[in-house]
Each structure stands twice: as structure tokens, then as C-alpha cells.
Structure 1
């Protein structure tokens, strides 16, 4: 009984941390959606930070920003705020928690590599996301994944681990 109670307390703490992280992402995305967000200034600054005596940005990453991100800035201006908003909603609700944590950690890693540094808020958010990713099921015990994942496994995953709709033929039989 005591072990189960301690597990729920830990899960509650991890859920609170997950929700706090989600609020950070939600606020960042919402503020960008409500304004004329343009990442080109940030990208130009990151590219400029790749030169000089003590570059903050690696040359290969600056080349990626210059060759891929800047030519597609309109796409990035959509992906960044919507990505932040969706990560926030996923973490707050506890729905698609693992994909939201991975997406958030990926965005944080890119912001860090673009020169904001690991000691920034992005570095802290990255560490928290990694801890939550590695911790196990407790991260979503108090969230929608607690109900959605078992439902999905029951109705869509067979005993062999292959994806098929329960009760439907997979089409692997003969044509008779």
C-alpha cells in the first residue's frame, strides 16, 4: 500500500513538471501566433555567430540554417509557433506525451545549437524533457495517455505486434 501511494505521489510530481513544461511551450507558441512572427532575424544572428574568434554556432549548423532554413523561412515561420503550441497542448493534457517531449527536446536542441546556449531557459527545458522521457510511465499517469494508450493497444495492435484493425482481415489470405 505504501509503495503504491509513493508511486502516485511521484507520478503527481512528474505530471506537475510535465504540465509546467507544457505551459512554457504553450505560452511561447501562443505569443508567436498572436504576432507577426518572423524567424529570419534569429537565423541571421545565428549564422553571424558562426564566425569570429569564439563562434557560438558550429559551422555545419550555420550551413544548415543558411542552406535549408533561410530559403524556407515561410515554412519555419509556420512550423515553429504551431510546433510550440502543439507541444504545449500535448504536455498539458498528457496526450501523445512521448512525441510531444521528443518534439520539444528537438526544438530546444536546435535553439541551443543556434547560439542561445545551454545555460539559457532552452537548456533547462531540454534537460527536463529528457528526464521526463527517460522516467517511464509515471510521466503520463495523470494524463490522457493513461487511457488512450491501453485503448489503442487493445483495439489496434495484435498479439504479434503488427498494426491491424481488430476483427478485420489483414489481406494476407488467398483470393478465393
Structure 2
């Protein structure tokens, strides 16, 4: 408040009235009009507010979400697990063949060693027990009759 104003009287102010100014058209008059297809003209909707006012405007169609890509019937994880299992089975099969090969090779080498021992042992036996075998530098003892008396040899 100002010092000269009386506190009980209201201050009078001037009322200003504003009138709307029309906007110029957005499309120049000389521009050609494009015909609009009847299906693309949106529908006009009117809504009555609770206080009795009516609001009229174009209906806005809700935005449709982008279509979601369809999921494949089988997930990628399941495919990867299945491929890993198939690879594991292939490796296990190969390892089984490898162990079978090693076992067969071991049995074959064992049989070769036994065969060599039998052949070499037979050759040695023939050399020892042959009647007409000549040994260089050997001494032959022919014992015809031996008598043992009181742990003493009498020949």
C-alpha cells in the first residue's frame, strides 16, 4: 500500500481486453490441393465434459507397437547343448576306438613275444638234446654205472 491510500477502499485498475489475431494460412493459396483418399480422413469425435462443454476433434488412433519377431520353435541354447552333446559322443566314440586299438596292439605284441620265445626255446632245446650235435671244446662224460655207498661215489 501506498501512504496516501486508505486501507478500507479497494484500488481501481483499468481492465484490458485482448482480441485474438487471426493467423495467416499455413499453405499458400497458389499451392495445388492434393486429393485425399476417403479411407485416410480421420473420424471426428465429440466428448461432453462434466460441466456441459463439448470438445470436438479428430480421433487419434493409438500407436500400434512394432510386431514382435516370432520366437523360433527351439531356443538357441538348446541347439548349442545338443550340438555339444553330439560332439562329445563323437569324441567318446573316437576315444573308445583308440583304446580298443591300443588293447589290440598290446595283445598282438604280446603274442609276437610269446611266439619268439617258443621258437627260440625250441631251437635251444633241439641244440641241447640232439644226438649228433658237436660242441667245440666240450667234454663228454659217459656214466654207465654209478654206485653210491655212504654218500661216497664209486665209479
TM range (shorter): under 0.3
Structure holding more strand per residue: 2
TM-score (structure 2 length as normaliser)? 0.22
Whose radius of gyration is greater, 1 or 2?
2
TM-score (structure 1 length as normaliser)? 0.20
